[in-house]
Amino acid sequence: MKEAEVRDRHRKYLILGLALLLAISVVAYRLIPTPTPSTATNVEITKIFYDGLEPRTESDEYVEIKNLGSEPVDLEGWVIKDISEGYPSLTFPAYILQPGESIRVYTNEIHPEYGGFSFDSGKAVWNNSSPDTAVLYNAQGQEVSRKSY
Ligand SMILES: [Ca+2]
Ligand SMILES: [Ca+2]
């Protein structure tokens, strides 16, 4: 075999090898799952009704939480808290919040149509004169949403 022929054959092997590598890369790329968009879970504090109509106790104050995502979310172990004073806080029991559904955590009232959640606080929770801040944490303790007014 001439030297030129040997070189030509080596070149063919090289091209073949590169083509094979490219094919493997394409297959591997397709096998890697694309990450699901994080918009699937999107739960937010949408409202704080801080100036209750009930005199003194303001038991009808509430903080509203809405599932703005496209997937149901189990709120078990999630926490809603007034971080301005560090209290009160409510740890949710197992509750499936459906897409588009809103729940309310009242200061000291039970409204089953909004999930029936209450801080059971004998005093007003949300300050009328200087704004408080509510924070929602998931079951892993990560902040999910924050709202002031
Ligand atoms: Ca208030
Ligand atoms: Ca407060």
CA 102 to centroid of ligand 1, rounded, Å? 21
Q: How large a percentage of the chain has pLDDT more than 90?
A: 72
- Distance (angstroms) between ligand 1 centre and the Cα of 86 equals 16
Mean pLDDT of 96-106: 97
Return the domain boundaries, the chain.
Answer: 1-34, 38-147
Please give the distance, rounded to the nearest whole angstrom, from the Cα atom of residue 141 to the centre of ligand 2.
21
> How confident is the model at residue 10, as a pLDDT?
78
Output the CA 134–ligand 1 centroid distance in Å. 13
- Label residue 7 by pLDDT band (50, 70, 90): confident
Phi, psi of 104 (to 5 degrees): -130, 140
Name the residue among 130, 4, 3, 149 with its Cα closest to residue 62.
Answer: 149
Ligand nearest to the CA of 132: 2
Tell me which of 2 and 74 has the higher pLDDT: 74
Give residue 33's pLDDT: 64
**How much distance in Å is there from the Cα of 14 to the middle of ligand 2?**
72
| Nearest bound ligand to the CA of residue 107 | 1
pLDDT band at 19 (very low <50, low <70, confident <90, very high): confident
Q: Is the pLDDT of residue 40 over 70?
A: no
Query: Has domain 38-147 been given CATH number 2.60.40.1260?
Result: yes
Mean pLDDT, rounded, of the chain: 90
Measure 10 CA to ligand 2 centroid, in angstroms: 78
> 40 versus 16: which is more confidently predicted?
16
String of b and e for 60-80 (b: at least 16 CB within 10 Å)? bbbbbbbbebeeebebeebbb
The single-letter DSSP state of residue 125 is -
DSSP track, 90-113: EE--S-EE-TT-EEEEESS---GG
